[in-house]
Structure 1
């Protein structure tokens, strides 16, 4: 029969053995599960390692801008600029298409959006354009085609009007906000300021619900009779929007609605294709695309009957070949 002392000794030995097994097992699991990048993060050179492995650039004010850069560095670059409040992911259908056509395709998350820094300041067009210039300088992009949708179209116009010589070959603006969205004495066909105040109020009150209401309804025209609704597209819009920062999204409403791009449009000399759906419920057609085309020195207007604001996603089989024809033309 075991004595009480023997039982206590056995229990102590068993406890020690269990601890050893758990410690050894935990170390083994950690070694297997942690990627090299995570292990490197514990070293003094973790920031350097991140700069080598993650696609970010850092601007003068310390903002980190995330970007994708796919394809041969020798190929002609196409730079995509997303709309509010989305990210570079909104261009998946176009980036895959042009990558297969042999182009180098690049898209970034605007500051405050997506994976870029959720900035408190700098959420306006001058800084957005400066961020694009920093990216194109970093990648040394030349003879590039810049394509912008909605707010991204305003960003393209603001950047191209200021770009260094040789950086830009052509530009495309799709469902874009120029010349100016808000109604004024100079722009009587614009949307009243109260519309954008409503955007800001909805964002502050319940951003998550607001970011469901937009793609479910007017953005893709899913509120139109007979529309083919894609729940995946709606949820992907919401996912992208919620990745960004509320403060940056709030400020960007003023940037896309009140910035006057008239002088920018007049300065641009490279060929610009202006694409717009005439059933755009976000950026009304009559007060945008035709006016921008008239202000451009070398602009071409292409109108898409019945197409919604998010036509790059709903109709890529139409939009992508038209983009390709313009770029090659």
Structure 2
């Protein structure tokens, strides 16, 4: 059950914890499904079936020479869902580049079986800085990432994860052991998959996929995210999706699954249960009352 053969013959490592409504957790670059473990454990305890898998080329999955683009990534997601029987009332949760799989699955596979979506520190809808995406990341940054990976991947990731988790001279939001764990996950991946997946999330434009996300959507993003800037991603998605709610984690970096694991777990569970997240589906009764009160002319008391 822990190996899925995709339509092109690639074998992916899959974990299924708990029973209940399926929640598929898609990891970020350059990690593996293990990055989701604390949250997957909470979801399983809360009565959900937490499904996580290693993206092709990463973790314990096969490392084929090609297929590192989002059409194939979305097909891999569809194959994982079919293998584990996640066919209805599914929630897709994508972290960082994993948000791209969510968006492309919703358009390429018409959102089959999906009833909710969560985008966590996601690269959607478009990362590069261009004339029509002024808040994006300069292309030179992605060039430097590739140069660093080719020159000394092990050294590059040591510095990368400090920014990823917001570690500085005084700020220690995660332990050294967490940094070491992230580094070990990154080094499990092959160099070629690591490079090609980076090119995919750095260049893929998901703006055309967004209209296919027609289900309630939770967006979580740290305001101090220096890896995936919030203005070009979360703010833009929230503006474009009428059924989305944006939850900003003030002062938090990119890796909120570790720096705010309990808060993120609670927010996801509240969203999945519909008990604590209010979606932007129109003004609430209180908002309407507040607006009416503001427009009233109140006579002074004599």
Structure 1 residue aligned with 2:10, among 44, 50, 63?
63
Secondary structure of 1:67 counterpart: strand
Partner of residue 12, structure 1: none
> Which is greater in Rg?
1
Partner of residue 235, structure 1: 180
After superposing the two structures, state which structure 1 stretch, 166-175 or 225-234, moved more: 225-234
Partner of residue 98, structure 1: 43
Structure 2 residue aligned with 1:280, among 211, 219, 225?
225
Checking the alignment, whether the CA contact within 8 Å between 2:105 and 2:111 is kept in structure 1 is no
Secondary structure of 2:246 counterpart: strand
How far apart are 1:251 and its partner, in Å? 0.6
Q: Deviations over 1:95-127 (max 9, x none)?
A: 111111111110010001111111211101111
Are 2:197 and 1:252 aligned?
yes
Q: Aligned partners of 2:169, 2:2: CA distance in 1, in Å?
A: 39
Secondary structure of 1:118 counterpart: coil
Checking the alignment, whether the CA contact within 8 Å between 1:119 and 1:245 is kept in structure 2 is no
How far apart are 1:227 and its partner, in Å? 2.7
Q: Kindly report the root-mean-square deviation, in angstroms, between the aligned alpha carbons of the 2 structures.
A: 1.3
Partner of residue 209, structure 2: 264
User: What stretches of structure 2 of length at least 5 have no aligned partner?
Assistant: 275-302
Q: Deviations over 1:80-99 (max 9, x none)?
A: 00000100000011011111
Q: Which has the higher contact order (CA 8 A, sep 6+)?
A: 2
Q: Aligned partners of 1:129, 1:78: CA distance in 2, in Å?
A: 16
TM-score by length of 1: 0.80
Q: Aligned partners of 2:119, 2:5: CA distance in 1, in Å?
A: 26
Partner of residue 38, structure 1: none
Structure 1 residue aligned with 2:100, among 150, 154, 169?
154
Partner of residue 203, structure 1: 149
How far apart are 1:159 and its partner, in Å? 1.2
User: What stretches of structure 1 of length at least 5 have no aligned partner?
Assistant: 1-53
Higher helix share: 1
